[in-house]
């Protein structure tokens, strides 16, 4: 089994949070992820992969979940892969996609991220995208929500 880690990255935009989405080599919507290096924790790998693939430095806020899937290796054998996915707050760096690994990277609203994931993403990533958007929606914005309930 192959073990990887990655993250759904967000930043505070003028109109609320924005999520960093990437387009992989196949034109599909995803998030930065990659293999753990020797002696590396999943958290360290997630932060390293985000910075390598996008130029963005981040800080882990929470664990979003584990994504698992199988893919076919050259030669026809199949490989199981698990990815530990984290919600990561952008803390620095400049967006500069690593075009050897990905086709593009850009910031979108949470609603746009969900729409892109639904139309062009991988089915097995839907839950972690939805969970990231849920958590970002729960963040206090300094506005009273009123006393209804």
Contacts 24+ apart (CB under 8 A), 12-17: 13/107, 13/109, 15/109, 16/109, 16/110, 16/141, 17/109, 17/110, 17/136, 17/139
| Cα separation, 134 vs 149, whole angstroms | 19
pLDDT at position 85 is 98
Distance separating alpha carbons of residues 136 and 11, to the nearest angstrom: 10
Global pTM reads: 0.89
Residue ranges for the chain with pLDDT beneath 50: 142-149
pLDDT of residue 140: 63
Choosing among 3.90.25.10, 3.40.47.10, 3.40.640.10, 3.90.79.10, the CATH entry for 2-138 is 3.90.79.10
Match 């850009």 to its residue by tokens. Answer: 106
- Give me the residue spans of the domains in the chain: 2-138
State residue 50's pLDDT score.
98
pLDDT at residue number 146: 39
Cβ distance 77 to 97 under 8 Å?
no
């Amino acid at each position: 089994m192959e073990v990887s880690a990655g993250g759904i990255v967000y930043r505070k935009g003028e109109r609320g949070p924005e999520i960093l989405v990437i387009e992989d080599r196949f034109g599909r919507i995803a998030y930065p992820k990659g293999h753990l290096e020797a002696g590396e924790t999943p958290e360290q790998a997630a932060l390293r992969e985000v910075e390598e693939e996008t130029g963005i430095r981040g800080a882990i806020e929470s664990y979003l979940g584990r994504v698992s899937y199988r893919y076919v290796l050259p030669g026809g054998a199949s490989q199981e892969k698990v990815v530990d996915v984290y919600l990561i707050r952008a803390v620095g760096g400049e967006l500069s996609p690593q075009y050897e690994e990905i086709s593009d990277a850009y910031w979108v609203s949470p609603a746009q991220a969900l729409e892109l994931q639904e139309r062009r993403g991988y089915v097995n990533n839907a839950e972690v995208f939805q969970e990231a958007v849920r958590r970002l929606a729960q963040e206090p914005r300094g506005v009273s929500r009123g006393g209804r309930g």
